[in-house]
Structure 1
Amino acid sequence: MTNDVPWLNAEEDRSWRAFVRLHQKLFRRLGADLETHSGLSGADFQILVALTDVPEGRLRFQDLAGAIDWERSRLSHQVSRMIKRGLVAREECAEDGRGAFVVITPQGREAIEAAAPRHLVVVRRLVIDALDPEDLAALGRISSRVLERIDAEPR
């Protein structure tokens, strides 16, 4: 170990490891529950949520990638799988022959509408109900502050 590395002290290390473990366990649990009860993967759900967040239910590939913070190649593979299952469709962009839209289908809308209530029950049970209002507000502030720092960093 070198002295120029800003090593974490014991409390920083404990907090960091707890956060990483929380993230891993929470998203594994949420993904498994989605898969078991709705047949959607966590990735399916994330894309469908982003598409239902916009009134027309469609986003250009690059806008969808930005909304969910994915690499375009990962998004392209996931969208291809979802097209095969009828959850989304690809529409060419009339204004830009190179661009394309990802569009939620009626089947995709039905899938997200069926999955969302149970998913929210699980989110409430595992996270929201585990925190008092002050802790929940602190979680929101902390998350926002870290996201701002990440977004400000050059890639």
Structure 2
Amino acid sequence: MTTRWLTPEEQRAWRAYIAATHLLEDAIDRQLQQDAGMPHLYYSILANLSDVPDHRLRMTDLAEKSKITRSRLTYAVTRLEKDGLVRREGCPSDKRGSTAVLTDAGMATLERTAPGHVETVRAAVFDHLTPEQVGQLEEISTGIMRALEGDGTEAATREDVPWRRRSSSSSPCT
């Protein structure tokens, strides 16, 4: 197979994208460490739990939603549990499964931290874009995400995409 090297334009776009994402992640991590004493990943886990009914998700579903491996999620949730922000419960319908639940303290942390987080995101990204560029950013990001996830509209399947996070099918805990 012949290597399809990047064109000079693609190379510039790629390097700009990498630099921007690294700088953005650093800015968000600094803000969240300062305001909540946690990295962006932990904040995202809390935010994902706050977005669902009853503020609870099976660990496998939370890993998929957070775009991280189950082992990385387990480590993060253990830390969040120690801080009283999340608790784990067993799953009555599946004795091997467990559910992560956002605690009242976790919700309070989100509510206290969200304004600074949103301001950091707005100042770093959206204040520098036109409304048209915001739409383009969404379109581009969604296209990349779909290609990497292999959502069925692309040629790639889960097996075709080696870097895709795998999750087993899970049923809700009831």
The Cα shift of 1:38 comes to: 2.0
Contact 2:91–2:99 (Cα < 8 Å) also in 1: yes
Equivalent position to 2:108, from 86, 107, 110: 110
TM-score, scaled relative to structure 2 = 0.85
Normalising by structure 1, we get a TM-score of 0.95
| Equivalent residues in 2 for 1:51-70, closer than 5 Å | 51-70=49-68
Q: In the alignment, what sits opposite 1:136?
A: 134
SS at match of 1:98: strand
Name the % identity: 37
Q: Whose helix fraction is larger, Structure 1's or Structure 2's? A: 1
Pick aligned residue for 2:32 from 31, 34, 38: 34
Task: Answer yes or no: is the 8 Å Cα contact 2:27–2:120 preserved in 1.
Answer: no
Which of 7, 10, 13 does residue 11 from structure 2 map onto?
13
CA distance in 1, matches of 2:120, 2:79: 26
Greater Cα shift, 130-139 or 32-41:
32-41
Larger mean CA deviation between 37-46 and 131-140 belongs to 37-46
* Match of residue 74 from structure 1: 72
- Could you tell me which runs of 5 or more consecutive residues in structure 1 were left unpaired when the two chains were aligned: none
2:46 aligns with 48
RMSD of aligned Cα (Å) = 1.1
Structure 2, gaps ≥5 residues long: 151-155, 162-174
CA distance in 2, matches of 1:79, 1:66: 14
Per chain length, whose mean CA-contact separation is higher, i.e. which structure has more relative contact order (CA < 8 Å, sep 6+)?
Answer: 2
- Aligned pair count? 153
| Corresponding residue number in structure 2 for 1:22 | 20
Match of 1:145 in 2: 143
Match for residue 165 of structure 2? none
